[in-house]
């Protein structure tokens, strides 16, 4: 099941310029999602392309590759500065890792230096926490903050796809938990790492920053992007 934007919501982004970091990963899908809201989607590969943005999306992909390419294109420091200055940013999967202040299991380069992040979210994430590609799974999540999509039967769950996704192991005092994956039902989703009695945090928000472990852009689930646009507009 997908949750497309309503006719009214399909113009919610009108007048906004939303950038998508287009160094690596599934940035095209996020550009389409931004444009489906009526916003102007902007591919961001150079520092000057950050100018005039109302918000930015950091897509899923390889967090280590995006980190290295951002530094190679002289984007890393400008991104850190814009995030610190209050630019609204949504990070999906690898984007969650890159927004985290701390990575529990950072990759290292040949010199032993750990991967870097852009920071902004006071969280600790664990990379590939749910396993490798073959352990990808889907789950229906209760997701806070989507009251704008309520119907007579309430707010529909978010159908989430996890592909080598991270999870959040620590949240700071100003970070709101929006969604968690509950312990796996053995008859349904399976996880590479057992989750007996332990829910795993997979969506968070702090002020102008939003992050999910999963990929709403691949399922037709538009409400996470709509939430981000409402955050940009100060409506959420």
Residue 215 appears among annotated catalytic residues: yes
**Residue-wise over 65-75: b if at least 16 C-beta within 10 A, else e?**
ebbbbbeeeeb
- Of 30, 191, 208, 217, the active-site residue reads 217
| Proportion of the chain in helix, strand, coil states, percent, rounded to 5 | 25, 25, 45
The dihedrals phi and psi of 4, each to the nearest 5 degrees, come to: -80, 165
- Of 30, 191, 208, 215, the active-site residue reads 215
Residue 135 appears among annotated catalytic residues: no
Residue 93 appears among annotated catalytic residues: yes
What is the distance between the alpha carbons of residues 192 and 90, in angstroms, rounded to a whole number?
26
* Strand 121-126 relative to strand 100-103, pairing: parallel
The catalytic residue positions are 93, 215, 217
């Amino acid at each position: 099941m997908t949750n497309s934007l309503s006719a009214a919501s399909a113009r919610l982004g009108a007048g906004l310029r939303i950038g998508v970091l287009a160094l690596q990963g599934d940035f095209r899908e996020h550009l389409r999602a931004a444009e489906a809201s009526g916003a102007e989607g902007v591919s961001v590969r150079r520092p000057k392309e950050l100018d005039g943005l109302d918000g930015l999306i950091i897509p899923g992909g390889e967090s280590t590759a995006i980190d290295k390419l951002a530094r190679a294109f002289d984007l890393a420091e400008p991104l850190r500065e814009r995030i610190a200055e209050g630019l609204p940013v949504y990070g999906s999967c690898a984007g969650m890792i890159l927004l985290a202040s701390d990575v529990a299991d950072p990759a290292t380069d040949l010199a032993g230096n750990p991967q870097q992040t852009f920071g902004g979210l006071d969280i600790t994430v664990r990379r590939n926490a749910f396993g490798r590609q073959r352990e990808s799974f889907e789950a229906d999540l209760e997701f806070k903050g989507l009251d704008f999509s309520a119907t007579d039967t309430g707010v529909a769950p978010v159908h989430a796809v996890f592909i080598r996704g991270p999870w959040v192991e620590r949240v700071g005092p100003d970070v709101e938990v929006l969604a968690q994956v509950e312990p796996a039902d053995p008859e349904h989703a399976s996880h590479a790492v057992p989750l007996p009695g332990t829910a795993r945090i997979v969506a968070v928000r702090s002020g102008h920053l939003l992050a999910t472990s999963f990929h709403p852009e691949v399922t037709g689930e538009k409400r996470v992007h709509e939430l981000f646009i409402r955050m940009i507009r100060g409506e959420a």
